[in-house]
Structure formats: structure tokens, C-alpha cells
Amino acid sequence: MQPIELLLTHPLPSSPRQGELDGFVLHKLWEAADPDAFIAQIGERVRGVIASRPTPINEALFNRLPNVEIVSNFGVGYDQIDVDAATRHGVVVTNTPSVLDEEVADLALGLLLATVRRIPQADRYLRDGQWLKSSFPLSASLRGRTVGILGLGNIGLAIARRLSGFDVGIAYHSRRQRTDVSYRYYDSPGALAEAVDVLILIVPGTAETRHLVDAALLEKLGPNGILINVARGIVVDEQALIKALADGTILAAGLDVFEREPNVPAALIEADNVVLLPHVGSASEPTRGAMADLVIANICGWFSDKQVVTPVNQG
């Protein structure tokens, strides 16, 4: 019996289940000098894909992998995968929800505090010897603020639980009002932005959420407003945000994600009222290992008895 052949778009972090892939033939796309020629050579033999952003998994790729059965995505977000195309081709798509919720929520709170209290700026001030000349300027505060969460799914709930210990107001908008929380619900993103002075984004990156945060919404957030994005870069109109930060439409922003990663606009890098992180929301060794475990569990489950742990579609 021939071993099953898999295409890996990016390296997987080490995990306790790594050895379970030893029985497969692993084709490593990132090592190919010519990725197109590489796929042309192996495409008909590939039965599974282990995927990760930003490599697109789309109709064109499915046409080149006629025997693929499963795409096991490394990440809870799967915006780089055309799930409709996968379904048309009879391909099951899986992702890695839940195992990264707490890590991303921790990062969101850290990014919020760093942005409000200007922690990276203060660090640079000290390192540059400026403290020897004068005290660091006073920062804004989290005290007295109301924090809005745009997207109250599992990660949003984990963020809200952490915020409850900071004595701030908490409000939210989601596609549907939840019946299991007491936080104030607003029926639109704009209404939420008008009611809060911190807005945390934790919605999927889809065609529907592209540029959900635009110039009009930033205007509603106001000159004391702080935007925190731990969702996807496309949720924010980046040029509108740059202008809003420059002209005082909002006070500050903390960003872990960007529209064209890893390319970050120079205007954001140069701005002093922005805290920037290189998309590290889930990037701890334990969490990335747990995500890799789930990727492998989905692959092995499918090829052992056609069962997966975390399906996105039915294939």
C-alpha cells in the first residue's frame, strides 16, 4: 500500500503528535525553488494539505490537486481558504479553534494596556537616555473607560472575562445578541463605537467584514478612542486608520494584524501613538504546539476513519 502524500505550505511547530506524520510522505512547499513546478510534479498524488496563512488555498489550487480530500488549517481563521471551492471539490476543511482562545485573549489585554499606558514608548524613552533629562510624559488611563468588543465569540468572551477584573464597562456587538452574558449589546458596529472609547476587534476576516472599521466608524469612536485589532488586518481600512491617528480623530491604536502582512505601512511604523506587533496573538510555544496537535489529529482522523475533530465544512 502506497503511503499517503501531503502538501505542507509552511513548517509546523513541534508537538507531541509530530511522530504521527511519519507514515505520510510530506511535500514541503516552502523548500521548493519553483513552487508552481513543484505542485505540477506532485499534484495528482497529493491527498491532503496542511495549510497556513498567507498561502491561498483556492479554486486554482484545487484544480491542480485533483485527488485532495482534506485541508487541515493551522489557525482558527481560515480566510486564505476558499471554503466554497473546497466544498465544490468535495474537500473537507478543518481549523484549530478553542486551543488558542486564552493566549489571544491574554495578548489582547497586554496590547490594550501597552497602548493606553504607552509602555513601548516609555521603554524606548528610558533606553534612549531621555529619562536623564526629564520625566516621561503622562499617559492616558484605562480608568473610567468603556470597552467595546466587536465579535463576542469564544475569544471575545475570554477577553471580556479578563476585562471584568479591570473595573471598566463592557459592551459588545455580534451578529446575534447572546443570552448568556449581561454585557450591554449594541445592534451595529457603529452604535457600539459611539458608546465606547476602546474598541477591540475580534471578528473573522471575510468579505463581509472587510473594512468594517472605516473612516466613519473611527469618527464615531472619537478623539479619546483607542482601537485594538487582534482579528484580521482586512477588518480595518488601514489608510483611514492612518489618517485618523494623524489628525486626532482617535487617540491611539494597538495592532497585531495588518492588511498586507508582513508589509506594514511606514506611516504606522513612524507614528508615536500606535503599538505594533508582528501577528503574535497565539505565538507561544505551548499554544502553537496545541494547534499543531489539532492539525495532525484532523489529518490522521480523516485518513483513518474519515472523521475530523474540528470541521469547517462537510466537504
Do both 93 and 111 map to the same domain? no
Do both 125 and 254 map to the same domain? yes
What's the CATH code of the domain at 15?
A: 3.40.50.720
Q: How many residues does the structure list for the chain?
A: 315
Do both 46 and 93 map to the same domain? yes
Catalytic residue (choose from 232, 238, 259, 288): 232
Residue 232 falls in the annotated catalytic set: yes
SS (H, E, C) 52-116: CCCCCECHHHHHHCCCCCEEEECCCCCCCECHHHHHHCCCEEECCCCCCHHHHHHHHHHHHHHHH
Number of domains in the chain: 2
Residue 279 falls in the annotated catalytic set: yes
Catalytic residue (choose from 31, 261, 270, 285): 261
Q: What is the pLDDT of residue 192?
A: 98
- CA atoms of 315 and 90, how far apart (whole Å): 4
Do both 82 and 155 map to the same domain? no
Rounded (5°) CA angle 187-189-195: 85
Do both 92 and 120 map to the same domain? no
Do both 74 and 163 map to the same domain? no
Q: What is the pLDDT of residue 1?
A: 74
Which residue segment(s) compose the domain that 91 sits in? 5-97+285-305
Do both 246 and 175 map to the same domain? yes
Asked if residue 313 is part of any domain, the answer here is: no
Residue 49, strand partner residues: 7, 71
Please state, in angstroms and as integers, the Cα–Cα distance from residue 69 to each residue in 45, 149, 262, 305, 315, following that order.
Answer: 11, 37, 30, 13, 8
pTM for this prediction: 0.93
Asked if residue 10 is part of any domain, the answer here is: yes
Asked if residue 311 is part of any domain, the answer here is: no
Over its length of 315 residues, how does the chain's per-residue pLDDT go in tens digits? 799 999 999 999 999 999 999 999 999 999 999 999 999 999 999 999 999 988 999 999 999 999 999 999 999 999 999 999 999 999 999 999 999 999 999 999 999 999 999 999 999 999 999 999 999 999 999 999 999 999 999 999 999 999 999 999 999 999 999 999 999 999 999 999 999 999 999 999 999 999 999 999 999 999 999 999 999 999 999 999 999 999 999 999 999 999 999 999 999 999 999 999 999 999 999 999 999 999 999 999 999 999 999 999 988
Do both 137 and 46 map to the same domain? no
With contact defined as beta carbons under 8 Å apart, do 78 and 293 qualify?
A: no
